[in-house]
Structure 1
């Protein structure tokens, strides 16, 4: 902005230049004349600062004025700028001009306008131009084909990099990442288009580019060069020769490779170039090293396909199987009598290739003077008749058309007639289970001359897993343990000491798999009465194979402190005795000698009130009577609730069996002892086992007995010191009522023995103590 003082000064200068006033001494008057020119005023439109260097900075002088209205002329100029700049102003004499700057920094722009006569005072404006950071462009990512053993060069291109300010750029390329082990280098790293030289390994190569406009570095850009997947290389190995039928062949594809390091999958298969017939099984055909067993001669071509998951490759290998020589077998040496016809057989000769065999028999040696000859020298089975006693050696030659094989057999001919024995291995046998002993029978073998026989047994075949061996293989009846299910074929050869049997018969022994037995311990038994003998029943157990079973009974669980006993724990149906109420779990194990099975049976034993008359069974006077369930006189009152004898007790409490004790009146009170309640427990004496005990409580066991009591012997005869099981049926008891049908046991006192069943009495005078069941003698 031009100041007011400057404007006035300018105007005065203009006037002075144009002259004015007179020499005649006119007045010194500073007032301008009407015809004097007024200087114009330069005005520059406001500019925003700072601005990017790349901007086209418009300069506007349209606000400049001239008081006289004169047309203005414009002159733009750059007063100051950054060092080294080459900025310029386009249209520098127009009201609208443009500043073209090349260097960032502060610029001062000046404007002077002229009205045709005089210049204005200069106007100026300052502005700061800032640099724009350049942009690096390393080019698009690429995928390239890289072949093994052929390094690849790739040219990079940074020409897409730019600078908004138009500055010249410099380039810096840098390798950021390569596959491990790569020796790639970067040539021309400061050029726009450098070369990535020697890509040698599969993978991704990353290169970064940074550009500079002379003032600032760009952000780094990067480009990735990725190698395309390369197909793997299949290598089925070298061709294999020199193999024969029966050999195992292992193929080898381990030299197959993948340039990219990918995991490979393998698939082997026979091609169509194989011998006619079924193909052998190829074991592990998806491994790098499968195998197979040669079954026939010829040439086999196999193909290996390897894959990396995307691409695959194939290779083939030949397996050459040559001819295998046959094996001649002229049979066993023989002993014969003069005049016998000697049978020769090449039937045991073999050829693993399955080739058709040709046979040729000939007599190599014979006794002097013999003219014997083979009847049919080219037959499989032939013979001759010796004409002189002595030794004959016969040779067999077999040929498969390519190779030969020979064998010989010796025949010793005796002038004394001797006939070969005949072997008989017996009849076929079969068994249901392994583990049985098999006894063979060669007793049907015979000798025409009745010579004593020598026996030779051997296995011709047996199950693969069997380890069976013959015991007494040189006897008429050897044996072996058939340890595995399957078929056993045993052959027998017999000799009379000179000649072997010309036949070798076999016997077949078939052993089936064993089936486990099935245990059946019988049905559970409940509501058993304590003291009764329990009959167990395992007879329902069976064995599907019909094997003989063995039995073993045991107790799995029983009431605490209980005592029990089997009459015989190794039979199918033993008796079981016990001494305490509760639940008993018994187990039956049955075995067929090889396998076992188990079953259980539950016994529930009670000493409770079985007949519902209010008294525990062990305290019954006459167990089994149900006085409350009968109305014998039809008066609608059950017998147990009546009082027919007029005493103080209903019938249900009356004694009904044995020696009555309710007749005595020991205290002379007019009431029979049996009707009294000495211990005031609510039960009359006649129903109590012992005064002071509770007949409804199973734990109230002790009784007092008189010196002599009656009983019934239930057990077998016993001697002193043994256990006696008895049933009290009557007795002379003191302070107790009669016991009826109560089964108890005791250990006999010294000097006491029993040798019969039936009723008896025991005098225990002078003895005291408790019997084994808790009953006491006082």
Structure 2
């Protein structure tokens, strides 16, 4: 229902119904977080669980901007707008929360602008496509068929059709909208049931169609499509921890991490822009930054998601995330210290015991509330809640789950803990990674170019695989990361290089293979 392609970053924000954060790019925001005095607008959907997969005419959304942040601690004023691509401005509001019932099919842009006491203003937007899920008798129900993936310079067929047999469609009018990286917009119009169109720029397009039935009635539909550059690759975001040696085995409240994205690869050359975010599962967006490096001190226990989005000069975006659980190893007197005990490994369909406990003897725990979150391979998310010191739960899908517990001590104080859990399907074999090097050797000269190849990796079930390569140097640490089946690599430094390949199947099962190769100085 969110109108754009899925991703880990997006699904994380949708856990709380958050659909817009300024500066992420993936949310169509036109600004970035630049200074401490600039507010951070955050838009969330309060009734997310009540809405279906698609937004339909008649649906009401309840929006909130209360998670927006003024880094200086001042108050914020709010301005909401609802725009329709054809009808123009439909509604507005100036409270922290905003409710709107959709009356029109087609693409809407919901905007939230927040302003500080000092007059600094930022905004974020949410693109929403509204359909009519229950067309009246005699009304066509427009659909769009486009063969993907799409590349710049390649002729593409756009086909309009009706999802109902009566009436038949006799005409279709198209509008193809391109939002360039500099935030200017241009569009072209075409007519015909089936048209050929050549996308001339990489990036995201909005494709709209209005169809007319043979009885004169009309219907509208739209979808977002991503067009890649034929001679360019998307960037490869690489997040590294500069002060890793200074941190303990567990991250604790008060720890400061120093992150860097400067090893990210623009692939096709050129410069990159950066966007960092820190999200907490319960407290929402905590911080952001737009430099190549980023520093953050943890103030809250629980699960955090640190995101890095990189964008090329041509508008290609990719992002990566790091899930971090922060604990407090120095609980105050009288505060419980939550722990989770789960017998692993865990298989689909098997009843599993989840036990909450306190790592301190005083106070004792009197209650525990659980939340079990599943992120499916298509990046949609669902969760269930349970209560009890010890609960039985049967995981019904393979993949990665986040298990959270909030415990209450017998003195009324609370503590939180979470852990990630991998659930396997005993009836499905995991993928088989196959890491190969061409030419075949484990010793090379500095300056040599080799091919790291994972094409012989396989899924015994015949499904597709996703690939993630990491190249680390014995002294310099992470120096490259690629998400292709195979790639070329040139040794620029002497010494040992650790190379790993992780493959993931369609249900989230992962396996990895690794090897170590040595590069010798060319003047050796």
Confirm or deny a common fold (TM above 0.5). Answer: no
**Which TM-score applies when normalising by structure 1?**
0.18
Highest RCO, 1 vs 2 (Cα 8 Å, sep ≥ 6) = 2
Which structure's residues are more often strand, by fraction?
A: 2
TM-score (normalised: structure 2): 0.25
